[in-house]
Amino acid sequence: MQSMQPSTVDKLKMGAIMGSAAGLGIGFLFGGVAVLRYGPGPRGFLRTLGQYMLTSAATFGFFMSIGSVIRNEDIPLIQQSGSHWNQRLLNENANSSRIFALAMQQAKSSPRKSNEVAEC
């Protein structure tokens, strides 16, 4: 028997989970580099790095949940019953997350540029 199609809410949840996990990794990476280069600041090493990771995870989770719902199409399920993480859904999420990761890095690296564009 085939398992049920993942609903839109399920895709939203899975996108948020994957985005948060990826955001934690990226926050750890970039936060670690920032702390090593500029110092931990007044709140200490762990709190600064933790804030980097949490902010990155929240942002990635938010946008990736939207991306998962946008890429919403019927997926032919040929796997066993009870499988909720279909391989194709994983690939779709991975692709959405790549796009989002690139866009987010630009937003972080050049805040003034976005302000200039917004004022036009």
Residue number with CB closer to other proteins (44 or 78) = 78
Task: Report, in Å, the least distance between residue 22 CB and other proteins.
Answer: 5
Residue number with CB closer to other proteins (43 or 91) = 91
103 with 54: CB under 8 angstroms? no
Task: Report, in Å, the least distance between residue 70 CB and other proteins.
Answer: 5
Q: What's the CA gap between 56 and 44, in Å, rounded?
A: 19
Residue number with CB closer to other proteins (48 or 65) = 65
90 with 11: CB under 8 angstroms? no
Residue number with CB closer to other proteins (44 or 72) = 72
Binding site for other proteins (CB under 8 A): 18, 21-22, 25-26, 29-30, 62-63, 66-67, 70-71, 79-80, 83, 85, 87-88, 90-92, 94-103, 105-107, 109-110, 114, 117-118
Tell me how far apart the terminal alpha carbons of the chain are, to the nearest angstrom: 56
53 with 24: CB under 8 angstroms? yes
Task: Report, in Å, the least distance between residue 35 CB and other proteins.
Answer: 16
Count the helices and strands in the chain (H runs, E runs): 4, 0
Task: Report, in Å, the least distance between residue 68 CB and other proteins.
Answer: 10
14 closest CA partner among 26, 5, 27? 5
